[in-house]
Amino acid sequence: MQSTHLSDLRPATAQPTGAEAGRQRQGRLWSNLREVCDLLHIPTTNIPSSDELLFQHVQFKMGQRVHTIGQAFDTLFVVNSGFLKTVLIDEFGNEQVLSFPMKGDMMGVDGIHTRHYASEAVALSDCDLILLPFRKLAALGRAHTELENLLYGVMSRELVREQTMIGMLGALSAEARVARFLVSLADRFAAMGYSSKLFNLRMTRHEIGSYLGLTLETVSRTLSAFNEVGLISVDQRTIGIKDADALKNLRRLPPSRSRSRQRARAEATAAAASVGPAVQLATA
Amino acid sequence: MQSTHLSDLRPATAQPTGAEAGRQRQGRLWSNLREVCDLLHIPTTNIPSSDELLFQHVQFKMGQRVHTIGQAFDTLFVVNSGFLKTVLIDEFGNEQVLSFPMKGDMMGVDGIHTRHYASEAVALSDCDLILLPFRKLAALGRAHTELENLLYGVMSRELVREQTMIGMLGALSAEARVARFLVSLADRFAAMGYSSKLFNLRMTRHEIGSYLGLTLETVSRTLSAFNEVGLISVDQRTIGIKDADALKNLRRLPPSRSRSRQRARAEATAAAASVGPAVQLATA
DNA sequence: CGATGAGTTGACGTCGATCAACTAATGTGG
DNA sequence: CCACATTAGTTGATCGACGTCAACTCATCG
């Protein structure tokens, strides 16, 4: 696995992958405050689109690390394009996935407290990130109330997200967790302007399982089961959402016996009634 | 169940329960900025102990609600004394415990984002809380960098705490969760100047279970098992920590048969010889 | 084309939930 | 202050959801 630290990276010089926002200057991509706020979905009542104050973009390739645990903190990141995961590494080297940041999400907030990042961020695809030097940002917040609200708001939003996650891990069945995970992905894709009905997973079953507190086999089986009952369609990493409402409210599926009994019954009806089993199995 | 909202409460007029900090003025308890920072364990390099700027205390009786979900947000709370729980209520009215705030903890941060509290806070004992009007506090932060750092720092700390919680719920066995819960309580009591070896739980088994993603029966059984192997002593809500290190590193206990075999052997022969370890510790 | 990792599916075991019975605290009204 | 109701906690028996182990298929890529 390749790994790259900030200091190793030369900022993008060529065409960026996602060229929605930003401008070239000194052969690099930059965004102004207004664009950053828009990206974060923060109402920007009166932030001017001035180009006085610009924030630099940096590109990461799939598999590269944006920051690692314990690394000195000084900047926050906003995802402009691409997909990532953030993970905790436990005392035995096991990864615990904490989130799957994508366009409009902020990363690095967990570094503020101790001045060192508490988690690790890895690119799951090629990514374009905007760097927000924290000290500079906080200083700016003193002048612009909107920006100050942005910071507090984003941190609070992240906190609420994690609370919801805790509630989910503490109370829901495997099936309900996977269902809500799919719905939440669909919603986020919708918010980014993509289809919420058909999308590609950017993460492995193992990463999904880690995120949801399940094994990869359980994730796989659950997706298959959803597919079987027509809630979704699954083809490798391509997911089609068939019944979003049912997924949202799902507590658990009827037991698999009853599903297979239904199938068995359907098959059996053709082959008439009372034929004994061909082979008598040992039952003790 | 009694419930009280902020507006219903008359601030304390008599002797407060925990009279560590604060002063009387207009027959009420108040703390200055310095005292609040100390309470939060924030290094206060150059915050003066001026009494220009005072924050009001409010008392809550056991069972009272400090804030409820959806209630308009405008103030943060710092616990000066007492014990509380914060909970999420899911779509079917089930409580999910998120945290057990105690002296020095901040509550209400989850309300910043949407301007409405996202959780509910309930007093588990009589409590003395300090009110921090958020807008006022943020405004003050613009003048005092230390205070600004306090706010960002406390929010980030809370975020890291929840991340750790997610990792725990996602990866650890029931026994490991209960063990770490006890250790974390012990540490917090130590930080408050109380004994970390002997303390009283302020919450029910049901609340612990909800917090840890377990049923109350599992919590009860696990405590009994820890007691049985001598890791702790349990008498109702009184917990004695016997082997904090073992608790910290515990992955899971050996199956109960082998435990009772061990007891039987120990009782049968005073000759110890080669008895396997009573607890399975973390190994690389 | 073989190698490698991702994903699927089955068989089986077990951890923890559920249901239930009981005891120990706590509180309330007479 | 006691009788009684109510809630908290313990413990046992049972069951099922999910983890584990294993075999296999399918994509991707050098």
- The DSSP line for B157-199 is HHHHHHHHHHHHHHH--HHHHHHHHHHHHHHHHHHTTS-SSEE
| Contact by Cβ (8 Å): A22, A80 | yes
Predicted confidence (pLDDT) per residue in A73-113, tens digit: 999 999 999 999 999 998 888 999 999 999 999 999 999 99
Query: How far is B248 from chain A, CA to nearest CA, in Å?
Result: 12
CB of B164 within 8 Å of a chain A CB? The answer is yes
pLDDT in tens, chain B (284 residues): 444 444 344 444 444 444 455 666 665 799 988 899 899 987 766 666 677 789 999 999 999 999 999 999 999 999 999 999 999 998 888 999 999 999 999 999 999 999 999 999 999 999 999 999 999 999 988 988 888 988 999 999 999 999 999 999 999 999 999 999 999 999 999 999 999 999 999 999 999 999 999 999 999 999 999 999 999 999 989 999 999 999 999 987 665 444 444 443 433 333 333 344 445 555 43
Structure tokens at A218: 């359980």
Would you state the pLDDT for residue B26? Answer: 63
Query: How far is A50 from chain B, CA to nearest CA, in Å?
Result: 23
B6-169 folds as Jelly Rolls (2.60.120)
CATH code, residues A6-170: 2.60.120.10
Sorted by where each begins, the domain ranges of chain A are 6-170, 172-266
Query: How far is B205 from chain A, CA to nearest CA, in Å?
Result: 15
CB of B140 within 8 Å of a chain A CB? The answer is no
Higher pLDDT, B6 or A129: A129
Closest partner residue to A159 (CB to CB) among B90, B158, B211 is B158
Around Cβ B52, how many Cβ atoms within 10 Å? Answer: 7
Would you state the pLDDT for residue A26? Answer: 63
Separation of B282 CA and C5 C1' (Å):
29
Would you state the pLDDT for residue A14? Answer: 42
Size of the A and B interface in Cβ pairs below 8 Å:
121
B172-281 folds as Arc Repressor Mutant, subunit A (1.10.10)
Chain C positions with an atom below 7 A of a protein C-beta are 6-11, 15-20, 25-26
Domain A172-266 class, CATH top level: mainly alpha
Residues contacting nucleic strand D by the 7 Å CB criterion are A 173-175, 213-215, 217-218, 236, 252, 255; B 201, 204-206, 216-217, 219-221, 223-224, 234, 236-237
Q: Which of B42, B136, B163 to mutate to test the interface with A (most CBs of A within 10 A)?
A: B163
Instruction: Report the sign of the C-alpha dihedral through residues B9, B12, B14, B17, in that order.
Output: positive
Whether residue A152 is predicted with pLDDT greater than 90 in this model: the reply is: yes
Closest partner residue to A163 (CB to CB) among B153, B154, B162 is B162
